[in-house]
Structure 1
Amino acid sequence: MPEALLDSIQNLYIMKIKNKKMKLKIYVMVFLLAVISCAKAQESSSSKDRTKTVLLINAHLTYKGLSEGTLNKSFYEEAKKFFISAGYHILETKISDGYDVDKEVEKHMLADIIVLQTPVNWESTPWIYKKYVDDVFTSAMFSKKFLNGDGRSAQDPSRQYGTGGNMQGKKFMLCATWNAPEESFNDPSQLVFKGKSADDALFNVAVNYTFVGYEVLAGYHCYDIFHNKHIKEDLKKYPAHLRKVLTL
């Protein structure tokens, strides 16, 4: 019980309240405050102690002789190992193996954080990931699990587009492998990305999660994968990035 409540109870003995009804009311009020305070403390403790859940999504699509998925699998497994060591409950989806839409919606509802592992094919994710999002998010839109409309309201014109999400408190992060070299980003003189960061270039991927209420974390990117001599180092640095963005 908080010290302030104990002080209040002690003060009742010091105060010379002759009116018995008044004294009884004060006792009841202090008792109720104590019950509420203890309940909140237990709720907070339970929330901290609850095992968190991560959903790992592998969006790789195999192209024989070009993209076999080994590198993306390595990053995926590195993330899985990290979350296991951090005590998370692990949910997994490999899109190319097929999926049940209702189960994927439920996985999103259960997960505290979504980590998408994807190659960048023609400056975006493989098409199977777009189909996955269309299937899962559309189902969750109709069921109103992910969101209730787009947030706008005729009764409140100040409500912004994209504020109708129900997934506040959850987080999304992507890890991407690129053919593009790192120097092609964050430089306005570069022809393709014109000063954009890698996260900016994949804005269309993360914004779906923003739209339904997720906090989007800084992504992790492995560049120039066909010529990169530092891939092993990039893999080793990945857990440190996860630890940083998740403040673990």
Structure 2
Amino acid sequence: MRNVLILNGTHPTPHAPGRLNRAFTERATAWLTARGHDVRQTIVAEKYDIDAEIEKHQWADTVIAQFPVNWMGVPWTFKKYMDEVYTAGMDGRLATGDGRSAQAPDEDYGMGGLLGDTGYMLSVTFNAPRAAFDNPADAFLQGRSVDDLLGHVHLTYRFLGLRPLPSFSAHDVVKNPQIEADFARFDAHLAQVFKESAHVAA
């Protein structure tokens, strides 16, 4: 059994109220709970307690960050959550500074994280089609992968010491949605990740 924290990073707007990312969050919760995992959720667009969020990260064996990619990054309320919660956790609860020491000020930057036993998984939704990624001929992304585009999010979690698990992405969710197929792929992805996660934990 694993302790799993799911962060719903959606910022609801009239144009995009967040139904799909909420559905992925609830689907992951149901899937994991049915298999004996203990799941907690945070909806970052709602009111949260910073100290309680830090405690959730300390409790978790795995963190799932579920969010729509807005303007090539996380929604602003999710960035606000990171700024508030992760900065507060730099007091020795999530990290001990940035990893450097006075004796070696140029070494080990970003290696002060304390959550080395915790894995994280990014699960994201895009308007961009899947064919735009990993494609050197694409004029916009120029060969970048999903994980390349979200490198800043990966570095945020690396800064806290978390270990990456395979990312999931749903594409073209506005102009050409394939939601049922995405849900089926998501279930299969969870089965792969949590089998791997349990193996690592063992």
TM-score by length of 2: 0.91
Amino acid of the structure 1 residue aligned with 2:125: T
Q: Is the 8 A contact 2:171 2:177 kept in 1?
A: no
1:185 aligns with 2:164: no
Displacement of 1:157 in angstroms is 7.3
1:108-162 residue CA offsets vs partner (Å, 9 max, x unmatched): 0101111011011111111000000000011000x21111122223445794222
Equivalence for 2:168: 220
Equivalence for 1:118: 67
Equivalence for 1:108: 57
Aligned pairs for 1:31-42 (under 5 A) are none
Displacement of 1:225 in angstroms is 0.7
Aligned pairs for 1:154-169 (under 5 A) are 154-155=102-103, 159-169=107-117
Equivalent pairs counted in the alignment come to: 196
1:151 aligns with 2:72: no
Equivalence for 1:57: 7
Equivalence for 1:75: 24
Q: Is the 8 A contact 2:2 2:38 kept in 1?
A: yes
User: 1:145–1:219: structure 2 CA closer, same or farther, 3 Å change rule?
Assistant: same
Deviates more, 1:94-103 or 1:148-157: 148-157
1:85 aligns with 2:6: no
User: 1:138–1:229: structure 2 CA closer, same or farther, 3 Å change rule?
Assistant: closer
When the two chains are superposed, the root-mean-square deviation of aligned CA atoms in Å is 1.6
1:202 aligns with 2:150: yes
SS at match of 2:89: helix
TM-score by length of 1: 0.75
CA distance in 2, matches of 1:174, 1:182: 16
Higher helix proportion: 1
Q: Is the 8 A contact 1:54 1:113 kept in 2?
A: yes
Q: Is the 8 A contact 1:172 1:206 kept in 2?
A: no
Q: Is the 8 A contact 1:59 1:119 kept in 2?
A: yes
- Flag the structure with more relative contact order, 1 or 2, with Cα contacts below 8 A and sequence separation at least 6: 2
Equivalence for 1:170: 118
1:173-215 residue CA offsets vs partner (Å, 9 max, x unmatched): 1111101111111012212221111111111112111111100
Equivalence for 2:191: 243
Displacement of 1:219 in angstroms is 1.0
SS at match of 1:73: helix
Amino acid of the structure 1 residue aligned with 2:6: L
Of 116, 131, 146, 2:80 maps to: 131
Q: Is the 8 A contact 1:179 1:224 kept in 2?
A: yes
Amino acid of the structure 2 residue aligned with 1:54: V
Q: Is the 8 A contact 1:119 1:177 kept in 2?
A: yes
SS at match of 2:7: strand
Amino acid of the structure 2 residue aligned with 1:84: T
Unaligned runs of 5+ in 1: 1-50
Amino acid of the structure 1 residue aligned with 2:8: N
CA distance in 2, matches of 1:158, 1:134: 24
SS at match of 1:97: coil
CA distance in 2, matches of 1:96, 1:157: 37
